[in-house]
Amino acid sequence: MIYVPASSENMVTIEQGLYANLVLFALGLFCFFLNMPLLYTLLKSSKLRSEAKMLILMAFGDSVNCLAISALGLYRYNLYSWSARSGQVPLQTARTCAERPSMWLRSSRSQLKRIRAYIAVAAISTVLVAVPDVKQLLINHLKDASFDEWISQAFNWLCLIASSFNIFVYLVISKEFRCEFCKCFASEKLEALKIIAECSQTPDAIKVLRKMGLCWKSIADKGGHQKFLKLSDLQTEAVVLAKRHRSREQDRNSEPEPPVA
């Protein structure tokens, strides 16, 4: 690769690109880890595994996309750091970038079908998943206006947003996913409160809630030596209390009225 001395304009772009690519690296990692709860919920639930295979594939693709953009930011950060220290920039054009795969294609004609399939998949993924990089169509004009780096980073950030906000969309629009998400990540106490609220709206259910509060207080006082009341026990007790309240209401309604004197 050929290196040339960096001009003053190149040094200004390099200094700005150092911080921008560092932010891109950190943002890509954040969006990648943001997709992990989504993948975990989709893969853990047997029902979602069978009914949401397309969503699983899309979530996996978005995670890989976020990781790739993070790696891109790290690579650019290292490249800009080296250029800032050495005062040189690599001289690379579209033609020199295309020479390597073209030479490889000439020596490996048998791989053309596989490469064409990879190119087709990559093209479809770029259109459907990633944000199109329109900046490449206007690169000369944008470079003259000193907007090329800003536009490039903006497209990268939009691509990360498009690949990481799916978990919030599923939580908003899918009740089934919300239930599975709560089962995977919600605490046992919150799940028990939900079950008790669904099982009974009677005053007797307050006893179970108080029992849960006392149990949590004893855990905090004794350092966790006392066992927490199991979720199944709470559900069973709430149902029993609801039945007792219902039977008392029925008995009260079935009592004969006293005779009028």
Site of tokens 């490039």? 152
195 with 239: CB under 8 angstroms? no
Assess whether pLDDT exceeds 50 at residue 226. Answer: no
Phi then psi for 149, rounded to 5 degrees?
-70, -40
Alpha-carbon torsion (163, 168, 174, 175), positive or negative = positive
Amino acid at 27: L
- Residue 252 vs residue 221, higher pLDDT: 252
User: pLDDT category, 44, cuts 50, 70, 90?
Assistant: confident
User: pLDDT category, 182, cuts 50, 70, 90?
Assistant: confident
| Percentage of the chain exceeding pLDDT 70 | 46
> What is the C-alpha separation between 247 and 242, in angstroms, rounded?
9
Considering the chain, what is the average pLDDT of its residues? 67
Q: What pLDDT is recorded for position 39?
A: 87
148 with 135: CB under 8 angstroms? yes
Assess whether pLDDT exceeds 70 at residue 13. Answer: yes
Averaged pLDDT, 198-215: 49
| Domain ranges across the chain | 2-179, 187-254
Q: What pLDDT is recorded for position 261?
A: 47
Alpha-carbon torsion (213, 218, 224, 226), positive or negative = negative
pLDDT tens for each residue of 80-122: 888 888 877 777 655 665 565 555 555 555 566 556 655 665 6
